């Protein structure tokens, strides 16, 4: 089996496409269900056997007032040690916990070299195997858009005009299902995962119902 470093969601989508074209057996895993940054494994092993082999460790940050730190603070403290971003997976700061996934070979180095995050004195340790990762929080949104065209939906989600939405798409700020959005006319569907850099991330749960004025209703969850 062969493992990559941590890939972004966009890199993971591209890697999946390459493996399928090459008929290569593969698996993407980031340490938990729903992870964004994942490691690619090229292997013919069954997933049940393969997942425990991934070189991933869950690290817990303890000490200080964790309510005063953010994901950016954690990333800044880790990167200040001189490591590359691709040895780090998802960072989770919520519900009084601060966690992150990392390549297992970097674990001891980080424990020894990270003693503060933000302005908080902290201590790093490996989380126990049965540690329960806090569930993400969502804001439920109901909005109406002129159509299910991507530019109309992006404008509604980001609360900007269609012209501004087109600028976001042209500027490569928009991703649908982890792939950069290129066609403004693409139709958005229920189940789509939408990221607008600088604005947020949404999951489209329902779409298609029409108002009396002929506008399309979207029910979405926004990550908060």
Model confidence over 7-25: pLDDT tens digits? Answer: 999 899 999 999 999 999 9
**Over the chain, what is the mean pLDDT?**
95
- What is the pTM assigned to this prediction? 0.84
Domain CATH code at residue 160 = 3.10.290.10
Mean pLDDT, to the nearest integer, of 208-222?
92
Assigned token pair, 11 = 């890199």
Half-sphere exposure of 90 (CA within 13 A, CB side): 18
Tell me: do 144 and 202 sit in the same domain: yes
Tell me: do 162 and 216 sit in the same domain: yes
Assigned token pair, 16 = 């999946």
110 in any annotated domain: yes
Q: Which domain holds residue 109?
A: 56-126
Place of tokens 């569930």: 135
Residues 6+ apart with CB under 8 A from 140: 219, 220, 221
132 in any annotated domain: no
Residue 42 to residues 20, 45, 179, Cα–Cα distance (Å): 11, 9, 21
How many domains are there within the chain? Answer: 3
């Amino acid at each position: 089996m062969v493992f990559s470093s941590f890939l972004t969601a966009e890199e993971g989508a591209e890697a999946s496409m390459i493996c399928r074209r090459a008929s290569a057996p593969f698996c993407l895993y980031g340490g938990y269900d729903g992870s964004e940054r994942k490691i690619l494994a090229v292997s013919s092993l069954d997933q049940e056997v393969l997942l425990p082999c991934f070189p991933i460790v869950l690290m817990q940050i303890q000490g200080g007032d964790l309510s005063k730190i953010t994901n950016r603070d954690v990333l800044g403290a880790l990167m200040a040690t001189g490591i590359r971003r691709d040895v780090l997976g998802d960072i989770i700061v919520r519900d009084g916990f601060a966690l992150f996934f990392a390549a297992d070979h970097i674990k001891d180095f980080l424990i020894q070299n990270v003693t503060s995050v933000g302005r908080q004195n902290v201590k790093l340790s490996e989380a126990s195997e049965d540690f329960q990762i806090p569930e993400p929080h969502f804001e439920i949104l109901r909005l109406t858009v002129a159509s299910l065209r991507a530019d109309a939906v992006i404008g509604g989600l980001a609360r900007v005009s269609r012209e501004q939405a087109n600028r976001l798409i042209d500027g490569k700020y928009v991703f649908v299902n982890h792939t950069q959005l290129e066609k403004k006319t693409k139709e958005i569907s229920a189940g789509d995962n939408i990221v607008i850099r600088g604005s947020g991330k949404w999951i489209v749960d329902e779409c298609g119902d029409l108002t009396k004025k002929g506008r399309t209703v979207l029910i979405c969850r926004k990550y908060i």
